[in-house]
Amino acid sequence: MKQSTAVAVSKSFKPPPNPGKHYRLLCMTGEHKGTSYYLKENRVVLGRSEEADVQLADVKASREHAELTRFKDTFIVTDLGSQNGIIVNDLKVAQHTLTNGDKIIIGQTVFKFDVLDVKDLIQEIKNNPLGKKAKDENEKVEEAAPKKKPSKLLMVAGAAIFVVFIMLDSGDQGPAVKKDDTDKKMQEVTDNFTAQLMKKKEVEDKDLQKKLDAIIQRGQREYREKNFFRAIEEFNLALVLNPNNGRASFYLNKTKQSLDNSIEDLFLKARRDYDSLRYQSAGLTYCAIMRMLEAYKDDERFKRAEGQLRNVEKELGMIEGEYKCFEE
C-alpha cells in the first residue's frame, strides 16, 4: 500500500509531539477503526484508489470520493462526483467547511475531524514542580489511552470524592466529623452525581432519537417514491448511528426486497417485448435495469441485462455496443 506524504498515519490517540495546531481525521468505523490521519498538505484525497492519500477499505466509496482542502484555519471537504456522496453531521452535502468535532461519512466509513492545539510540552514540564516524574506519569496514561479511554464517569466521580476530602480536611480545624456524617455527605454527593449523569444520558438519547427519526422518515419518503437506492442509503446511515435500530433494519430489508421485485418485473417486461418482436422497447427496458444498477456493475443482474441488450442489438442489425444506455 502506498504511503502518502499528505498525511501522517498513527494508530495511537497520543497527540503529535510538535507544539502547534494539528488537523486530524479519526476513523471511527471499519477496518481502520482507531486510526488517526494527520493532515500535512493543503489537499488530501480520500477514496479506494491506491493513489488516494487516505485509502478506504469500503465498497460503497468511489476511487476518488472526496477531498479536503486547506482554507484559512480549517479544511473544506468536497464531494468529487462520487456515486454515494458525502454526509457531514447527518446531512448530505456537496461541500462543507469543517469545524472541530464534525462527523464525516463516506460510504459506510465514519470519520471525526479534530483540531488539536498542542502546547509546548517542554515549557510545561519546566513550569511543573513535579518535573520529569509528572511527564513520565502523563506519558504512561497517554500510552494506555488507545486501549481504553478514561471514562467521564470516573473523572466526575473522582472530582466528587475530591470535594468530600476537602470537606473532611476543613473539619480538622474544628470538632472531628462523625463517621455517620461523613457517610451521609458521601451518599449525597453520589446521589447528586448519579442524578446528573442520568439526566445527561437522557438528553443525549433524545437527541440521537430525533436524528434517527428524521433519517428514517427521509428513507420512508424515498421508498414511497420508489427511489429505492436513496432509501437504502438513508436506512444504512441510521444503522451507522445505531446498529441495533429495529425500525431501520426492518425498512432496509423491506426496501431491498422491493428493489429486487422491481428489477425482476422489468426483466419480465423486457422478455415479453422481445418475444413479441418489440426490440426497441425491450432495449429501453434493459437499459433501465442497467441504469438502476450503474453503481453495482458486478451485480449478476447488471451483467444479465447487458447480455440481453447484445441480443437486441443483433435483432436490430446494430453492431455490438452501439445501443447506448449511458451518456458519455
Is 135 among the domain residues?
no
Predicted confidence band at 44 (pLDDT cuts at 50, 70, 90)? very high
Domain count of the chain?
A: 2
Of 118, 145, 178, the one marking the end of a domain is: 118
Is 107 among the domain residues?
yes
State the pLDDT at residue 133.
46
Domain with 301 in it: 220-315
Q: Is the pLDDT of residue 150 over 70?
A: no
Share of the chain above pLDDT 90, in %: 48
Is 98 among the domain residues?
yes
State the pLDDT at residue 298.
87
Helix 246-275 vs helix 179-224: angle between axes, to the nearest 10 degrees?
10
Q: Is the pLDDT of residue 252 over 60?
A: yes
Q: pLDDT digits over 216-235, tens only?
A: 999 999 999 989 988 998 99
Is 196 among the domain residues?
no
The least confident of 129-138, 203-212, 253-262, 276-285 is: 129-138
Left if phi > 0, otherwise alpha if psi is -120 to 50, otherwise beta: which for 74? beta
Do the beta carbons of residue 164 and residue 181 sit within 8 Å?
no
Is 20 among the domain residues?
yes
Compare 321 and 102 and report the one with higher pLDDT: 102
Do the beta carbons of residue 8 and residue 46 sit within 8 Å?
no
Mean pLDDT over 189-217 rounds to: 73
Q: Is the pLDDT of residue 197 over 90?
A: no
Give the CATH number for residue 15: 2.60.200.20
> Whole-model pTM?
0.43
Of 118, 141, 157, the one marking the end of a domain is: 118
Is 123 among the domain residues?
no
Mean pLDDT over 51-72 rounds to: 92
Predicted confidence band at 155 (pLDDT cuts at 50, 70, 90)? low
Predicted confidence band at 113 (pLDDT cuts at 50, 70, 90)? very high
Compare 287 and 128 and report the one with higher pLDDT: 287
Q: pLDDT digits over 62-75, tens only?
A: 999 999 999 989 99
Q: Across all residues in the chain, what is the average pLDDT?
A: 81
State the pLDDT at residue 119.
77
Is 297 among the domain residues?
yes
Q: Is the pLDDT of residue 137 over 60?
A: no
How far is Cα 274 from Cα 122, in angstroms, rounded to an integer?
78
State the pLDDT at residue 246.
87
Is 40 among the domain residues?
yes
Compare 28 and 140 and report the one with higher pLDDT: 28
Of 96, 118, 140, the one marking the end of a domain is: 118
Q: Is the pLDDT of residue 19 over 50?
A: yes
Q: What are phi and psi of 86, to 5 degrees?
A: -130, 150
